[in-house]
Amino acid sequence: MLNIKHLVSFVLGIASIAILTTSCGKNETSRTTGWDYNNPENGGFEVADVPKQIAGPGLILIEGGTFTMGSTEENPFYEWNNSPRKVTVSSFYMDQTEVSNIDYLEYIYWLNRVYGEDFPLVVQKALPDTLVWRDKLAYNEPLVNTYFRHPSYQNYPVVGVTWLQANDYASWRTDRVNENQLIEAGILDFDPDQKNENNFNTDAYLAGQYEGLVKEGKEDLDPNGTGIRNVRFEDGILLPSYRLPTEAEWEYAALGLIGNTLYNRVVERREYPWNGSGVRTDERKYYGSFVANFKRGRGDYMGVAGNLNDAADLPGPVGSYWPNDYGLYNMAGNVSEWVLDIYRPMSHEDVADYNPFRGNIFTNKVKDIDGGLVEKDSLGRIRYEEISPEEAANRKNYRKANNVNYRDGDYQSTIQADWLGNDDPESTKQMYDYGVTTLISDKARVVKGGSWKDGVYYLSPGVRRYLNEDEGSSTIGFRCAMIRVGAAQPQ
């Protein structure tokens, strides 16, 4: 039993660690050398006074933790692709809502303004496939022309977007947010005349390959510097990249167990993003109303006129229904959502138990023979390439760039494997003969969550499906995520 003396010592120890941790970045003098920080007279080594990460627009902090990932109810199709297992997810940020039509239209407008004149295919490549609304035996043709562009649908989730397009949108959003960060900080000024390669790209700016309209700039404390410099990532002004959430992050955030935990114990393992096994609210004012947008049964998409149950035959506005305990909307129903992972039915047996993910392809920025970065491409982006076998040869944590098929699809995981270590670039075809014995390939990406067109089973966060990364659907949208740097808990 812990006595008072030990308890006091423990508390004081934790307090001293906290003080040491929080004061490290703010200390004006190095603890290890005694030299002053941020002093041009002794070399000008700069330490940013940034107490915590800035949350990007639209994002909510998801405090990480341990949870049981996987199925919470019996699979009616007798699939066994998501058996429960305990994993830990680090803290991260996630969009409060799905990306809406107006969000995506802003993206298309920017692409057209910057690239449309000389690179119109860039704009065409980004457009969602509005033909996903067509049905051979239904009259949905008006939706082809109205759902994406009519103002009445501007706050509805964008659909018909492929996994590849969703990733491109996340990259564009990163650059626009970081450009605005620099403008708000007085470093740069607005530049509405950006064209082609002369547009703000975070990587290009950090590499010194984009200057922009400098307003005040960043003071350079290096005595050998020019007086004004570009912002560095170490300054804490620029944000990490927006991206799609991993499957584990999405499922963890959807369950919202932060509102269902008592003293490190999950009170009730949830089937859905809310407590209980029902799909109706018990709030008196809205008693009996559905808490999500889904298909109630054959032919029933919204209920009977005068008393509509979920009041949405198609996707509803992105902020509709009740948020979960993290404050996230529509983590069950409305539209299913792309996540970052490659789909494999047995990933639950292979992936790590900390931040599990399948789909890593490790890359480096392309360099010239002198070791400097090559010039950015015609769209203003820094070039990347997969790491070389020579670079990975002496690594213990990975041995090659592409780890999509590791333990499930690579040559070593087939029954024909040559255990001397030979590798076969066609290995995936041996285990997954696409179009013959399976619809799984290296293009198959995980889709999470139910949609307006799905039954109640798919509202469970543990359910997983897949679609090829270059295909879109009227039932699939997406939302973005971002890593949390520094402390896992809010400060």
Task: Specify whether the CB–CB gap between 447 and 336 falls below 8 A.
Answer: yes
Who contacts 245 (Cβ-Cβ below 8 Å, separation ≥6)? 92, 94, 253, 339, 340, 479, 480, 481
108: exposed, middle or buried (C-beta count within 10 Å: 0-12, 13-18, 19+)? Answer: middle
Tokens found for residue 246? 């991993």
pLDDT at 287: 64
In a domain, residue 95? The reply is yes
Q: What is the mean pLDDT of residues 226-234?
A: 91
Tokens found for residue 468? 């090829």
pLDDT band at 52 (very low <50, low <70, confident <90, very high): confident
For the chain, what is the mean pLDDT? 88
| CA nearest neighbour of 275 among 294, 249, 256, 251 | 256
Sign of the four-CA dihedral 250, 254, 255, 258? positive
Q: What is the mean pLDDT of residues 295-309?
A: 80
Residues of the chain with pLDDT > 70: what percent?
90
In a domain, residue 19? The reply is no
Is the pLDDT score of 149 beyond 60?
yes
Task: Specify whether the CB–CB gap between 169 and 128 falls below 8 A.
Answer: no
Residue 40, classed as helix, strand or coil, is helix
**Span of 294-303, 323-332, 458-467 with lowest mean pLDDT:** 294-303
pLDDT band at 487 (very low <50, low <70, confident <90, very high): confident
Place of tokens 């004004």: 228
Residues of the chain with pLDDT > 90: what percent?
64
Of all residues in the chain, what percent are helix, strand and coil, respectively (each to 5)? 25, 15, 60
In a domain, residue 65? The reply is yes
In a domain, residue 423? The reply is no
Is the pLDDT score of 85 beyond 60?
yes
In a domain, residue 43? The reply is no
How many residues appear in the chain? 491
- The DSSP string of 317-349 is PTT-S---TTS-S-SSBSSEEEEEEEP-TTHHH
Q: What is the mean pLDDT of residues 418-430?
A: 57
pLDDT at 366: 96
- What's the structural domain count of the chain? 1
pLDDT band at 5 (very low <50, low <70, confident <90, very high): very low
Residue 46, classed as helix, strand or coil, is coil
Is the pLDDT score of 137 beyond 60?
yes
**Span of 48-62, 147-161, 447-461 with lowest mean pLDDT:** 48-62
Angstrom distance (rounded) from CA 478 to CA 100: 9
Angstrom distance (rounded) from CA 116 to CA 194: 12
Tokens found for residue 121? 């295919």
CATH code at position 302: 3.90.1580.10
Angstrom distance (rounded) from CA 23 to CA 51: 9
Is the pLDDT score of 94 beyond 90?
yes
pLDDT at 301: 81
The β-bridge partners of 95 are 59
pLDDT at 14: 45
Q: What is the mean pLDDT of residues 302-330?
A: 86
Q: What are phi and psi of 430, to 5 degrees?
A: -75, -35
Query: Contacts from 164-169 at CB under 8 Å and sequence distance 24+?
Result: 164/469, 164/470, 165/125, 165/126, 165/128, 165/472, 166/99, 166/244, 166/338, 166/478, 167/243, 167/244, 168/126, 169/99, 169/104, 169/107, 169/126, 169/478, 169/480
Is the pLDDT score of 290 beyond 70?
yes
The half-sphere exposure of 212 on its side-chain side, counting CA atoms within 13 A, is 29
Q: For residue 320, is it left (φ>0), alpha (ψ between -120 and 50) or beta?
A: beta
Q: What is the mean pLDDT of residues 259-288?
A: 77
CA distances from 127 to 39, 108, 195, 249 (A): 50, 7, 19, 27
pLDDT at 202: 97
pLDDT band at 291 (very low <50, low <70, confident <90, very high): confident
pLDDT tens for 377-392 read 999 999 999 999 999 9
| CA nearest neighbour of 243 among 341, 122, 328 | 341
Is the pLDDT score of 15 beyond 60?
no
pTM score = 0.90
Who contacts 478 (Cβ-Cβ below 8 Å, separation ≥6)? 98, 99, 161, 166, 169, 244, 337, 338
Is the pLDDT score of 25 beyond 70?
no
What is the residue range of 106's domain? Answer: 57-185+231-359+450-483
Who contacts 442 (Cβ-Cβ below 8 Å, separation ≥6)? 342, 404, 405, 409, 428
In a domain, residue 322? The reply is yes
Q: What is the mean pLDDT of residues 196-214?
A: 96
pLDDT at 424: 56
In a domain, residue 222? The reply is no
CA distances from 487 to 18, 21, 243, 368, 483 (A): 11, 10, 20, 37, 11
pLDDT band at 309 (very low <50, low <70, confident <90, very high): confident
Task: Specify whether the CB–CB gap between 318 and 311 falls below 8 A.
Answer: no
In a domain, residue 293? The reply is yes
Task: Specify whether the CB–CB gap between 230 and 206 falls below 8 A.
Answer: yes
pLDDT at 154: 97
pLDDT at 6: 47
Strand 59-62 relative to strand 92-95, pairing: antiparallel
Angstrom distance (rounded) from CA 203 to CA 365: 10
The β-bridge partners of 265 are 262
